[in-house]
Copies of this chain bind each other. A is one copy, B any other.
């Protein structure tokens, strides 16, 4: 994956970093997604990232630092992917269909089994790690806000009825999308999940 995070080299002193940060984080977030936080050992992470433990600790401080960086990278990449999916749709209603289809498309087969890093860390870490909890909270609030804005957009462009309660429906759709990522862990079929997301469009009637 070659999505840019921050590519401006600020002319730092000392020996320059040899590895590609985004590529390393892409491998790290894959390991964290598959294994979860605790089951992902430093050995497995360093091997996947193509680095030694020393380099990892120099760059990220500790294991938690690797996770937080990988989490931010994950959010960044997924948001851009979702943005691209939504952009083409002509109105609020169709943008929300694209959004739900996007999540349905990530909730079947091998990609579905790999799971969502945000959902995984929410269940595994949110209760005892306040920093992670805050990040999850921000991420979910952002997702919910985007859904809310799309509902209101649809109500303005006439594709969604005015009587739809935007706030509660946004929370329902947020829950539905995160839930698909959970159900997708059990290996559903593409048809199964797409049909579910199509059924969920009724929330906007």
Residues of A within 8 A of B (CB): 34-36, 38-39, 113-115, 119-120, 122-124, 126-128, 133, 136-137, 140, 165, 167-169, 171-172, 174-183, 185-188, 192-193, 195-200, 202-203, 205
Q: Is the CB of A115 within 8 A of B133?
A: no
Assembled-state Cα–Cα distance A193/B172 (Å): 8
A175's partner among B114, B165, B196, B203 (CB-CB below 8 A) is B196
For A35, list chain B residues within 8 Å (CB).
127-128
Q: Is the CB of A123 within 8 A of B119?
A: yes
Q: Is the CB of B179 within 8 A of A196?
A: no
Knowing A34-B127, A114-B127, A126-B113, the reply to whether A168 touches B182 (Cβ < 8 A) is no
Query: Which chain B residue shows the least CB distance to A200?
Result: B172
Query: Which chain B residue shows the least CB distance to A119?
Result: B182
A136's partner among B128, B174, B185, B203 (CB-CB below 8 A) is B185
Q: Is the CB of A196 within 8 A of B182?
A: no
CB of A151 to closest CB in B, whole Å: 11
CB of A122 to closest CB in B, whole Å: 5
For A165, list chain B residues within 8 Å (CB).
195, 199
Query: Which chain B residue shows the least CB distance to A195?
Result: B168
